Amino acid sequence: MNNNENFFCEFEKMLEAFSNAIAAEPNNAMLYAERGNNYLLWDVADKALKDHTKAIELDPNNVEFYIKRAKSYARLSQEDKRLEDYNRAAELAPNNPIVYSNRGDAYNQTGQYEKALEDFCKAIELDPTNTWAHLQCAYIHMESNRNNDAVEKLTEIINSDQNLRNVAGLYFDRARCYKALKQHDKAEDDFAIAIELANDAYKLRYRELWAEEDEDEDENEDIGKVLEQIMRKFPVG
């Protein structure tokens, strides 16, 4: 029996156990929620959604059930429904940072960046150690060309006491912000640190991206010079 068959057998055993338990306690909301969670782990989102909906029917004030069902909606690309569940979760638990982090991600996925930023900031207010929320704030600032704000947030993360998994990426992103701000010395310093900390695959990728950005910057400068020459030759007014 290969690994896939082993995993499938385990999945079948798990389903049988939960189904038997639900048959014995058909009004136990937690059993439906747990079976739904396992369906999500196995990426069977439609059945996960059905179980989480049943759990909510039985216990409509359980915040965790709405969070889990929202994840089912996300797997099914039903972002509007996902947001509805996070809105309900926020009503039930207005001081839960996980709700705001997750709803911020939902807003992000639907292009509602300012609402996403507001939720990520709220999550940070409630839990300052939420590194993921800090990162999302930085990325929204970068995408919105608010590079000074992005630098401030990335610096805050880099200098934090959190156990960061991709420090090289943080330095690389801050280097890109410095480059956009024309602070080239700081950009080069951060790029050098990123290369030093990165593994071989990322070293190559960072160098490729850096070279592409240099080419884009040079091209934009050339276009600017041409436009300046045209304006001098054909002044307006």
pLDDT, tens digit only, all 237 positions of the chain: 455 566 667 778 888 899 999 999 999 999 999 999 999 988 899 999 999 999 999 999 999 999 999 999 999 999 999 999 999 999 999 999 999 999 999 999 999 999 999 999 999 999 999 999 999 999 999 999 999 999 999 999 999 877 788 899 999 999 999 999 999 999 999 999 999 999 999 999 999 999 998 876 655 555 444 445 544 444 443
For the chain, how big is the Rg over CA atoms in Å? 24
Report the distance separating Cα 154 and Cα 171, nearest Å: 8
